[in-house]
Structure 1
């Protein structure tokens, strides 16, 4: 998928510094590249540098909603404004985000001014033109930090070697899983399949009226049914030819919403055109096709004298003094 999350993590121990991490999302959860990061000055400068080449439409820079909300909380010292901003950022309808912004302005003008200093496409899911694939934070990068657990205390060479082996293991597990799923004939990744099943469940309670089969115009009315906590009573227009729905979910998440699935179910129309190619089993498997090659024997590349530290499990437990083997 064309979405990257960028963040930095501090190194501890004798060797200080920051390890910059860039992580992408696979089909398990075509535009130019979308980079999601916090508002660190160094990242903004790099993304804004014309010589680097990360400029629209080649690349789009979006901000992590969680980091922006945290910075807003620090700026105005108000938890409610932080939570209201997060709610606004996740809105998928224009009228709802407008209502949220008015509410923020009426309650705390300072918060509104702080938020408005950043353009809407940088943080709003509704205004993001689907570049994020529904990803609003760098949280998934935090889960990848398990790869670096304990490694930040190691010398640089040992950190690189340990990271190399852990990422190789990470890829091997997912390569086997994705290849097996594709071989078994599954069209989508487990996460995408789960989302589609959930939306199909909602679609069962919708009613569909056709307005023009030739132009692909349908109106879908939602019903509460027996689902606890559901609202119902809304109407949405689906344009099959343009691949749009007034709920905006197909554009944001690149998957068919329950309204589209209801239309497909009633008129026996395939949902395949509504599923982005990045979210299919083929893309899931292709993500992990590249393999890591083994590190050559040290006698073929070692050019320095002195002991080499080989990382083992005792080195990455807890936060005490690292232990090592010397050869």
Structure 2
């Protein structure tokens, strides 16, 4: 799908593009979590590149859609999310992860009210640094609270933050626990706690963002063509039922069960004692554990792995979500992304000529090269030589 919006004078206003194979792959074979972000263009048109990316079962960046318009605002995020929703539909359990830009919050609430909207914890941490002094000693506690699977673990971390820095606790409470804490999140954000995958893709395009718009769009399409080909070949050569990332994740959980004691309750429920004398109830029928990790990550936790050993099972691959299967990885990249071919072979178009937008005057002085611009409220670290 591709759309170009123009104003009343037929001047360029907004461009949207997504590949049908990306959308179909996401709808059927990817976790329903989308990260959105925007980055500044560096060429004559001082607009922004808007992106929506997900993760495949191998935890790799899976681009979904791109948009080009002027600076971030409600009038640019709204069409981008509107067209994205037209492509993916109203997916159940959809989660949107972004920074706390006011226009993103408003656009998601207006366009995708059915989706759970979570915030990037990296940006929240940066905002805490800029607002409060001496927060470095509570950053570990913040991440512990954000990544906690259980409400009790979350509350324990928050209590420690409150004793050290009450103002930071108030700040995090005002944001809303359901926006940034995994234990309170109303939907499923799996292991996606930041928008780093979106920012990583922005870093990939930093040179291309200085090019003319048409060349930038071709760069995006060509990148997806290259990724789909290489990842399709990798998945086709793999014999293990899980993706490399999921296989490694499960192996680390298996390594942790060595000292655990398993006591069966019935054929589906088990009582597991870990090395710290904590007790967890695991339900294999519903794939849940009191630790919260089994159901929220949909990969067996160490307690479930201990049950597999107790029952003399060769492995617990069957308890892993199909999102992390090699079969799904093959299916998500099974379609081709085709080039446009030489322009001389294109069919003639009767569409009216689209005029360029009224250009914003570039500020005088040396341009800011390709350095990433921090988000609003994010602290900029000054590096000093030792």
TM superposition score normalised by structure 2: 0.69
> Using a 3 Å threshold, how does the CA distance of structure 1 residues 176 and 197 change in structure 2: closer, same or farther?
same
CA offsets per residue over residues 47-104 of structure 1, 9 Å max, x none? 100xx2x123xx2211111111111222223423444322311222322221222222
The residue that corresponds to 1:308 in the other structure is none
Which of 332, 335, 338 is matched with 1:293 structurally?
338
Report deviation, 1:169. Answer: 0.8
- Kindly report the root-mean-square deviation, in angstroms, between the aligned alpha carbons of the 2 structures: 2.3
The residue that corresponds to 1:35 in the other structure is 96
3-state SS of paired residue (1:164) = helix
Contact 2:116-2:186 within 8 A present in 1 as well: no
Uncovered stretches (5+) of structure 1, i.e. residues with no partner = 224-231, 305-318, 321-327
> Using a 3 Å threshold, how does the CA distance of structure 1 residues 243 and 34 change in structure 2: closer, same or farther?
same
- Distance (whole Å) between structure 2 residues aligned to residue 41 and residue 10 of structure 1: 17
- Distance (whole Å) between structure 1 residues aligned to residue 92 and residue 253 of structure 2: 25
- Distance (whole Å) between structure 1 residues aligned to residue 335 and residue 190 of structure 2: 23
Q: Does 1:69 align with 2:108?
A: no
Which of 257, 266, 272 is matched with 1:212 structurally?
266
Contact 1:65-1:89 within 8 A present in 2 as well: yes
The residue that corresponds to 1:271 in the other structure is 316
Contact 1:69-1:83 within 8 A present in 2 as well: no
The residue that corresponds to 1:169 in the other structure is 226
3-state SS of paired residue (1:247) = coil
Report deviation, 1:31. Answer: 5.0
- Distance (whole Å) between structure 1 residues aligned to residue 337 and residue 52 of structure 2: 17
Report deviation, 1:129. Answer: 5.2
Which of 275, 290, 298 is matched with 1:246 structurally?
290
The residue that corresponds to 1:310 in the other structure is none
Higher relative contact order (CA 8 A, sep 6+): 2
Contact 1:72-1:82 within 8 A present in 2 as well: no
Larger CA deviation: 8-17 vs 139-148: 139-148
The residue that corresponds to 2:329 in the other structure is 284
Report deviation, 1:26. Answer: 0.2
> Using a 3 Å threshold, how does the CA distance of structure 1 residues 302 and 161 change in structure 2: closer, same or farther?
farther
- Distance (whole Å) between structure 2 residues aligned to residue 4 and residue 17 of structure 1: 22
- Distance (whole Å) between structure 2 residues aligned to residue 48 and residue 286 of structure 1: 32
3-state SS of paired residue (2:49) = strand
3-state SS of paired residue (1:117) = helix
- Distance (whole Å) between structure 1 residues aligned to residue 332 and residue 94 of structure 2: 16
- Distance (whole Å) between structure 2 residues aligned to residue 116 and residue 156 of structure 1: 42
Q: Deviating runs (4+, > 6 A) in structure 1?
A: none
- Distance (whole Å) between structure 1 residues aligned to residue 35 and residue 127 of structure 2: 18
Contact 1:27-1:280 within 8 A present in 2 as well: yes
CA offsets per residue over residues 229-262 of structure 1, 9 Å max, x none? xxx4322111222321111111221100111011
> Using a 3 Å threshold, how does the CA distance of structure 1 residues 302 and 14 change in structure 2: closer, same or farther?
farther
Matches within 5 A, 1:1-327: 1-29=31-59, 32-49=93-110, 52=111, 54-56=112-114, 59-80=115-136, 81-128=138-185, 131-181=188-238, 184=239, 186-213=240-267, 216-223=268-275, 232-268=276-312, 271-299=316-344, 300=346
- Distance (whole Å) between structure 2 residues aligned to residue 302 and residue 114 of structure 1: 57
- Distance (whole Å) between structure 1 residues aligned to residue 187 and residue 304 of structure 2: 17
Larger CA deviation: 243-252 vs 283-292: 283-292
Contact 1:209-1:218 within 8 A present in 2 as well: yes
- Distance (whole Å) between structure 2 residues aligned to residue 252 and residue 242 of structure 1: 12
- Distance (whole Å) between structure 2 residues aligned to residue 220 and residue 275 of structure 1: 19
